[in-house]
Amino acid sequence: MQIHAERLASEVRKLPWHLPLAAWPKDLLVGLPRGLSRHVVRFVELGGDVLAVKETQDRIAAREHDMLQALTNLEVPAVAPLGHVVERRTAAGAQLPGALITVHLRYSLPYRALISQQLDIGVAERLVDALAALLARLHLAGFFWGDVSLSNALFRRDADSFAAYLVDAETGELHADLSDGQREHDLHLARTNIAGDFLDLQAGGKVASDVDPMAFSDQLLRRYRTLWQELREPEEFSIDERWRIDDRFRRLNAIGFDIGELTVTTDLDGVTTRIEPKVVEPGHHRRRLLRLTGIEAQENQARRMLNDLDSYRIATGRADDSEEKSAADWLRDVYRPVVEGIPGDFRDRLEEAQVFHEFLDHRWYLSERSGSDVSTPDAIRSYVENVLPQRPREASYLREPSTAALQVLSEHDLRDPDYWE
């Protein structure tokens, strides 16, 4: 047996690799909601991390590990690989499948866990939009997925939207660039698989019979094509059309990208500016927030926090201060009092950035209802008493899960806090 692990190697070696994953003892496992998979998958806790272990063929385990590592290096949203195990055998010498080990993405959930007993159309549409954005980012990096579906992604809350992460790279291929034919093939697969995802939900009674599964597939295609055109299509402007250049900047920043290439040329008609966003870098707001405050957040969460920071600068007369100084004051006066005001037994409900986003919504709602600004302490008290207790513990998992317990997780509405008590 060969074990390849970037870290936690000694703990990984102690796992019962001589047993099929399906036979691993219950007291070793932790339970997490998981999507449909053709492979046996188990979750274990080692060194403070929850790891996902997936049985597959030796060569596929090694290849998928390398593919996920490459995507991680390219800063594409995907689960992080920790290692792989090959040449496994039972105590009697019988051959066992290989295994891929990845680090579970905290606060992430499969799409089935985010859809309640009856389909919430708004949630479903936001999940499809998140998958379209993930597919566009993968294609920009030269990654052909080969099995695009909601089942092969995990989703984290990102303000009022979701951020999607690739969780299955088994069929993927990484190229310097993708042809239009490769992208269209991925889109064809996506259209088929997403309709299948919703047909499966329909068969399970979670989607009404009059809902058209193909409508979600068509939505993904429209969203993807709009994103791709915005990200890749060059655009030319006259040098005196500054407003159009600024508008393109804002449109790209609004979907989380920066300008990749800006060329100024002179021709017979005068001076023109050509924007070619071919080498775009995702995460404009996320990187700016991290630089100013050290806070790691999803893109929409970061955008919301930066808007609050800008509002704070204006409201407190700090507009002429440097961004760095204003950010330090905002951290002290606004952000930290909110996250530190959350009682300890509520801190695993949502990640901090999502808590702060929801707090901003709640403060605005209270202020609108009262007709005047509500103070931060009063808004925190109201949020903790009236909103946070209704949120599920999205960082939680079950100890020694029974088959019955996992069945409950798969069949019930995981947004209902009663199922997390």
Three-state DSSP class for residue 138: helix
Q: What is the pLDDT of residue 416?
A: 47
Which stretch of 99-108, 194-203, 370-379 has the lowest confidence by average pLDDT? 370-379
Q: What is the pLDDT of residue 158?
A: 82
Q: How far is CA 98 from the centre of its chain?
A: 27
**Which of 101, 123, 121, 118 is closest to 44 using CA atoms?**
101
Give tens-digit pLDDT for 82-114: 999 999 999 999 999 999 999 998 888 888 888
Three-state DSSP class for residue 84: strand
Quick check: 204 and 195 in contact, CB under 8 A? no
Give tens-digit pLDDT for 120-175: 788 888 899 999 989 998 998 999 999 999 999 999 988 778 889 999 999 999 99
- Confidence tier at 30 by pLDDT (50, 70, 90): confident
| pLDDT of 62 higher than 90 | yes
Strand runs labelled E in 175-269? 235-238, 262-267
Q: What is the pLDDT of residue 274?
A: 59
CA dihedral of residues 119, 122, 124, 128 (deg, nearest 10): 170
Contacts of 418 (CB under 8 A, 6+ apart): none
Quick check: 170 and 56 in contact, CB under 8 A? yes
Q: Which stretches within 74-179 are classed as H helix?
A: 111-114, 121-140
What's the CA gap between 303 and 297, in Å, rounded?
Answer: 9
Superfamily of domain covering 111-231: Transferase(Phosphotransferase) domain 1 (1.10.510.10)
Q: What is the pLDDT of residue 310?
A: 80
- Confidence tier at 254 by pLDDT (50, 70, 90): low
Tokens at 332, concatenated? 């002290």
| pLDDT of 412 higher than 60 | no
Three-state DSSP class for residue 244: helix
**Cα-Cα-Cα-Cα dihedral sign, residues 216, 221, 224, 225:** negative
Contacts of 236 (CB under 8 A, 6+ apart): 272, 273, 274, 275
Contacts of 30 (CB under 8 A, 6+ apart): 43, 44, 45, 50, 397, 398, 399, 401
**Cα-Cα-Cα-Cα dihedral sign, residues 365, 368, 371, 377:** positive
Residue-range domain boundaries for the chain: 2-104+398-420, 111-231, 235-275, 284-390
Give tens-digit pLDDT for 34-50: 666 788 999 999 888 89
- On the CB side of 318, CA atoms within 13 Å amount to 17
Give tens-digit pLDDT for 176-185: 999 999 999 9
Give tens-digit pLDDT for 207-248: 778 889 999 999 999 999 988 887 777 667 665 565 666 677
Q: What is the pLDDT of residue 181?
A: 96
Q: What is the mean pLDDT of the chain?
A: 82
Helix (H) or strand (E) holding 97: none
- pTM of the predicted model over 0.85: no
Which stretch of 11-25, 276-290, 399-413 has the lowest confidence by average pLDDT? 399-413
What's the CA gap between 419 and 421, in Å, rounded?
Answer: 6
